[in-house]
């Protein structure tokens, strides 16, 4: 049974966990009581000013702070968040009932109007009822003419633009071949374990965020601290093993501090919850989009993500992959996801059908990139980034150099020269 005053309970839930607010996007007309409407208005201002909710902040923006106490009085704070979706649905359905009641009253008052035909009255009533039901019967299709009118200015802008179509990854060869990370597209990077897929994803995420584009990084495999240490290693040029052990000299420590200070405010958000489900990742992605305006979602990695109702690993992957594709379209952003390749790739060059556990990944991907090592050891390992699938674009191979001590990918044909320049601090 729900708490008697749904409006009070829902606002209390949002104060405790603002994700309920971002996911629900409540409106003032959902609330009917003067004290809950006052609290709602103050919460809107508090969020705009401070980016989060707090009791002190909300009361500060209320003409009568005692209305906040009236709203929260009797709330069982230990119970909040357990069934927040039920309170959101109850609140929204109460609003729908009020709107439908208005429609019914309008029908009763106008049914005898002989200046209008019954069909005209019916059309107006159906329109009002549809709006009350959140436009669930609205025609979402478009005529070809409408699509054409919308597409022409987009195409003209692409033709006249000097920049990439999408977000730059910082890897010039990859950007040249793919046009950057483009909206509504799903990108897969595949490799065998410990062959750099997390490193290249972290490198791309840091580069995109450093250019002012908010990035959400959901890592099911690595902790947030590990991701930050890898960033420091790449950015400060300090051996990752020395960072992990804490054995760094004064000059390295100075370089780390300088890089950390320089990147302190980049818009990179990290969630490192293990054993995450695709529903949890989707929920977090919607929050990042609404809260920060996320421009890129990175997911590490697909085969570790759980999906409710699946039994085998194959079923799990086949549920997760299309859900990631849907996320890219719903949020209007690129999604960059990592995936493991099959074991037998260790003895040969990988190809598009080598994603582990399921062929769904190759089918769902707009762009699939496979990392193939051309050596197993050394300070600078040649790696081919094979663009095995590129929807509406060219495929090919991008030669990279992997620096294991920095967990960093660079470009260039002369491996030894590049490594010597880096070693000398050039």
Look at residue 84 and tell me whether its pLDDT is greater than 80: no
Parse the chain into domains and list their residue ranges: 6-132, 172-423
Per-residue model confidence (pLDDT) at position 79: 58
Look at residue 218 and tell me whether its pLDDT is greater than 90: yes
Look at residue 135 and tell me whether its pLDDT is greater than 50: no
% of the chain exceeding 90 in pLDDT: 30
**With bands split at pLDDT 50, 70 and 90, how would you rate the model's confidence at 133?**
low
Range picked from 90-104, 188-202, 342-356 for highest mean pLDDT: 188-202
Three-state SS for 294? coil
Per-residue model confidence (pLDDT) at position 248: 82
Three-state SS for 336? strand
Three-state SS for 170? coil
CA angle 258, 261, 267 (to 5 degrees): 135
Q: Taking residues 16-28, what's their average pLDDT?
A: 84
Can you name the CATH fold of 6-132? Answer: DNAb Helicase; Chain A (1.10.860)
Look at residue 105 and tell me whether its pLDDT is greater than 90: no
Q: Which two tokens stand for residue 102?
A: 């208005």
pTM (2 decimals)? Answer: 0.69
**With bands split at pLDDT 50, 70 and 90, how would you rate the model's confidence at 397?**
very high
**With bands split at pLDDT 50, 70 and 90, how would you rate the model's confidence at 199?**
very high
Per-residue model confidence (pLDDT) at position 356: 85
Q: Taking residues 130-148, what's their average pLDDT?
A: 58
Per-residue model confidence (pLDDT) at position 64: 94
Query: CA–CA separation, 208 vs 214, rounded Å?
Result: 8
Which has more confidence, 32 or 133?
Answer: 32
Look at residue 1 and tell me whether its pLDDT is greater than 50: no
Look at residue 93 and tell me whether its pLDDT is greater than 60: yes
- Cβ atoms of 400 and 170 within 8 Å: the answer is no
What's the mean pLDDT when you consider all of the chain? 83
Range picked from 15-19, 283-287, 332-336 for highest mean pLDDT: 332-336
Look at residue 23 and tell me whether its pLDDT is greater than 90: no
Per-residue model confidence (pLDDT) at position 415: 44
pLDDT digits (tens, 9 = 90+) for 183-193: 999 999 999 88
Query: Phi and psi of 237, rounded to 5°?
Result: 70, 35
Q: Taking residues 63-71, what's their average pLDDT?
A: 92
Q: Taking residues 389-412, what's their average pLDDT?
A: 88
Which has more confidence, 66 or 246?
Answer: 66
Q: In what helix (H) or strand (E) does residue 177 lie, and over which residues does it extend? A: helix 172-178
Q: Which two tokens stand for residue 193?
A: 């374990």
**With bands split at pLDDT 50, 70 and 90, how would you rate the model's confidence at 420?**
very low
Per-residue model confidence (pLDDT) at position 335: 96
Can you name the CATH fold of 172-423? Answer: Rossmann fold (3.40.50)
Query: Phi and psi of 341, rounded to 5°?
Result: -100, 165
Residue 413 per-residue DSSP state: S
Per-residue model confidence (pLDDT) at position 421: 34
pLDDT digits (tens, 9 = 90+) for 223-242: 888 888 888 888 888 888 88
- Cβ atoms of 232 and 256 within 8 Å: the answer is yes
- What lies within 8 Å, CB to CB, of 420 at 6+ separation is none
- Cβ atoms of 382 and 415 within 8 Å: the answer is yes
Q: Taking residues 36-60, what's their average pLDDT?
A: 90
Which has more confidence, 87 or 335?
Answer: 335
**With bands split at pLDDT 50, 70 and 90, how would you rate the model's confidence at 424?**
very low
Per-residue model confidence (pLDDT) at position 347: 81
**How many other β-carbons are positioned within 10 Å of the β-carbon of residue 397?**
15
- Cβ atoms of 358 and 351 within 8 Å: the answer is no
Look at residue 49 and tell me whether its pLDDT is greater than 90: no
Q: What is the residue whose two structure tokens read 């309170």? A: 87
- Cβ atoms of 206 and 266 within 8 Å: the answer is yes
pLDDT digits (tens, 9 = 90+) for 248-290: 888 888 888 888 888 888 999 999 888 888 888 888 898 898 8
% of the chain exceeding 70 in pLDDT: 84
- Cβ atoms of 143 and 149 within 8 Å: the answer is no
Query: CA–CA separation, 216 vs 298, rounded Å?
Result: 6
- Cβ atoms of 362 and 370 within 8 Å: the answer is no
């Amino acid at each position: 049974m729900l708490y008697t005053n749904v409006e009070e309970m829902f606002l209390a839930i949002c104060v405790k966990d603002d994700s309920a607010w971002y996911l629900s996007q409540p409106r003032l007309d959902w609330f009917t009581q003067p004290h809950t409407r006052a609290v709602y208005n103050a919460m809107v201002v508090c969020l705009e000013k401070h980016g989060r909710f707090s009791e002190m902040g909300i009361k500060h923006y209320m003409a009568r702070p005692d209305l906040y106490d009236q709203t929260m009085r009797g709330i069982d704070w230990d119970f909040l968040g357990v069934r927040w979706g039920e309170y959101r649905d109850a609140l929204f359905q109460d609003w729908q009932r009020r709107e439908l009641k208005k429609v019914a009253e309008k029908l009763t008052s106008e049914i005898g109007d002989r200046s209008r035909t019954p069909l005209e009255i019916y059309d107006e009533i159906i329109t009002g009822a549809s709006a009350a039901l959140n436009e669930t019967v609205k025609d979402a299709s478009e005529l070809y003419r409408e699509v054409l009118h919308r597409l022409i200015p987009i195409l003209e802008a692409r033709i006249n633009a000097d920049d990439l179509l999408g977000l730059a990854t910082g890897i010039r060869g990859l950007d040249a071949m793919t046009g950057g990370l483009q909206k509504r597209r799903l990108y897969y990077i595949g490799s065998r374990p410990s062959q750099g897929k997390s490193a290249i994803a972290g490198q791309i995420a840091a580069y995109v965020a450093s250019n002012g584009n908010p990035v959400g990084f959901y890592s099911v495999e690595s902790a947030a601290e590990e991701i930050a240490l890898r960033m420091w290693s790449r950015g400060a040029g300090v051996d990752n093993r020395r960072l992990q052990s804490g054995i760094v000299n004064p000059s390295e420590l100075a370089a780390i501090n300088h890089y950390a200070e320089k990147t302190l405010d980049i818009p990179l958000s990290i969630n490192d919850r293990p054993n995450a489900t695709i529903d949890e990742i989707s929920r977090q992605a919607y929050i990042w989009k609404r809260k920060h305006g996320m421009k890129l979602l990175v997911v590490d990695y697909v085969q570790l993500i759980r999906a409710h109702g699946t039994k085998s690993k194959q079923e799990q992957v086949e549920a997760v992959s299309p859900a990631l594709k849907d996320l890219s379209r719903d949020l209007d952003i690129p999604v960059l996801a990592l995936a493991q390749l099959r074991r037998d790739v260790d003895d040969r060059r990988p190809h598009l059908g080598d994603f582990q556990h399921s062929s769904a990944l190759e089918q769902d991907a707009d762009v699939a990139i496979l990392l193939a090592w051309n050596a197993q050891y050394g300070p600078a390992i040649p790696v081919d980034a094979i663009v095995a699938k590129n929807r509406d674009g060219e495929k090919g191979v991008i030669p990279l150099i992997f620096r294991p001590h920095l967990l960093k990918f660079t470009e260039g044909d002369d491996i030894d020269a590049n490594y010597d320049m880096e070693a000398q601090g050039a």
